[in-house]
Structure formats: C-alpha cells, structure tokens
C-alpha cells in the first residue's frame, strides 16, 4: 500500500510512526496490509509525521473511492439497465462542465432512441443483462434534458471511425448521424470529430472516458466501469482530453465528416 511506501521513504519504522501518532503498532501494520481502512484523520496524521503532506488529498480521495472504483459491468447491470441509467442522474444534474471522449459509440447524450436501443440490445446479448431495454432507453432520453439546462457545458470528442461503425442497421445509423448534426448546433454543446489519417502527435486513441467538472473521471473498459476521484488521476484524463481536442475538427469541417459518413451508408 502507498502509505507503507511513504513511511519507508521517510525512514520511520512502523513502531516509531505508531508511537508518534499515539496508536498501537498493530494498527500501523493493519493499515499497511490493507486489513484496516484508514480514516481521513489517520491519513492526515500519517502524511504529516512522514513529511509527505502534499500527498494527503490524493490519498484521501483514493481511500474514499477504492470500494467503488472498479466495478464489473455484470455487477452494475445485475439490477437492470434502467436502474444503471438512473444511477448516474445525480452526477449529471450536479455537474457543470462535462468532457466526453468516445472511441466506441456516439456519446449517450447525443444518441437517438433507436441507436441507444441497438447499443443496449448488444449489452443484453453479450453480458446476459436483464432485458429492460425499453425502460432504460426512456431514462437515457429523459437524461438528455441536461443539454437544455442553460447553465451546463458539454465538450464532446468522437473518433471518426465511430461515425463509420454501423450500430443497429443502416437506417438507424443514418438517422443517428443526422441527429448528431442538429444536436451539435445546440449552444451548450461543443462537438469535435477526430479525423482518421491525421498525425496524432501526443493524442493517442484511448478507452472511452468522461470527466465531470474536475472532480471525477469515468472510464469504460471492456469488462468493467472505472471511477476515478484522485485529483492526480483526474488531471491525467483532463490532460488527455486537451491533447485529443487539439487534433479534432469542429463546425463545418466536423459536419462534412458526418455527412460523408451518411453518404457512405448508401
């Protein structure tokens, strides 16, 4: 555990740390071996005594979020897709600045009902999730009201190959792409498309992720959902989003890429 490394780096023994902190030596051992979760006060005391107070904020954020940081999709979806869609509503309602990067599918807030239905039907088929797709689609469509709140801002980046990946069928995909053009015209939305064939520089393609204000990053893995609240880790995703945004095109050039994808559907 990181606290053990901090203690060793400081040159303190476990006994010396326990004595200085005023607790039993066994508590130090239990914390270092993950048998006892440290409280916020424990972490502050630990970093102060080890002269590592600059790490306090990250350590506390990690300790608070460690249980919910990595959750398998099957566990998340066990209670139904509708419940999973509803679970993020409080986060969407309190966030002021959204940053979404999608290398898999169209961002959820810009999806049509038919496109969402096709995505969720695939989830049901691949992960044996409960089939309450219609109810889940209704929740996601209702969630899109945040785009019209007037006080929230949405920056979205999509890889061009997402536009070329047919979800559902050609008709569903064409309607989705047409909807994307209109949705991107909303004053609260900034949509960037990262063209295929451009020099990427430091903007490597990565897993799809979202950043909510500067407080939380959510990462979509094949098997699980990862939630990060440690400031240092969130900052890494903010930096990555900034790099990706530099190779994206916006406005008329972005619309041309979407239109070309529609034309390619025949």
Pairing relation of β-strands 70-72 and 209-212?
Answer: unpaired
CA distance linking residue 55 with residue 40, whole number of Å: 12
pLDDT tens-place values along the chain, 266 residues long: 688 899 989 999 989 999 999 998 889 888 888 778 788 898 999 999 999 999 888 888 777 655 446 566 777 788 888 998 998 999 999 999 999 999 999 999 999 999 999 999 998 898 888 899 999 999 999 999 999 999 999 999 999 999 999 999 999 999 999 999 998 899 999 999 999 999 999 999 999 999 999 999 999 988 778 888 888 889 999 999 999 999 999 999 999 999 999 999 98
CA distance linking residue 47 with residue 53, whole number of Å: 5
- The pLDDT, as a whole number, for residue 10 is 92
CA distance linking residue 118 with residue 169, whole number of Å: 9
Q: Running DSSP on this structure, what letter comes out for residue 33? A: T
Residues 6+ apart with CB under 8 A from 85: 136, 139, 140, 143
Burial group, residue 148, by CB count within 10 angstroms (0-12, 13-18, 19+) = exposed
CA distance linking residue 226 with residue 69, whole number of Å: 5
CB 193 within 8 A of CB 254: yes
Residues 6+ apart with CB under 8 A from 21: 28, 42, 45, 46, 49
Pairing relation of β-strands 216-220 and 189-194?
Answer: unpaired
């Amino acid at each position: 555990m990181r606290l053990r490394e901090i203690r060793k780096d400081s040159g303190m023994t476990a006994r010396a740390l326990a004595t200085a902190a005023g607790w039993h030596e066994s508590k130090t051992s239990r914390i270092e071996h993950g048998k006892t979760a440290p409280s916020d006060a424990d972490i502050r005391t630990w970093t102060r005594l080890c002269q590592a107070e600059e790490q306090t904020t990250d350590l506390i954020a990690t300790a608070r979020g460690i249980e919910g940081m990595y959750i398998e999709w099957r566990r998340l979806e066990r209670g139904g897709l509708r419940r999973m869609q509803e679970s993020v509503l409080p986060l969407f309602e309190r966030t002021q600045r959204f940053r979404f990067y999608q290398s898999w599918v169209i961002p959820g807030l810009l999806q049509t009902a038919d496109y969402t239905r096709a995505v969720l039907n695939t989830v049901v088929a691949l992960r044996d999730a409960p089939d309450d797709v219609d109810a889940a689609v209704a929740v996601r469509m209702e969630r899109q009201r945040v785009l019209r709140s007037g006080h929230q801002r949405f920056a979205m980046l999509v890889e061009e190959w997402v536009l070329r990946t047919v979800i559902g069928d050609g008709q569903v995909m064409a309607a989705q792409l047409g909807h994307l053009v209109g949705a991107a015209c909303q004053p609260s939305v900034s949509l960037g498309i990262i063209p295929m064939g451009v020099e990427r520089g430091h903007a490597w393609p990565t897993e799809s992720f979202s950043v909510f204000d500067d407080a939380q990053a959510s990462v979509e893995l094949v098997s699980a959902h990862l939630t990060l609240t440690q400031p240092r880790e969130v900052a890494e995703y903010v930096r990555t989003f900034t790099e990706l945004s530099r190779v994206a095109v916006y406005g008329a050039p972005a619309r041309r890429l979407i239109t070309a994808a529609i034309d390619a559907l025949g």
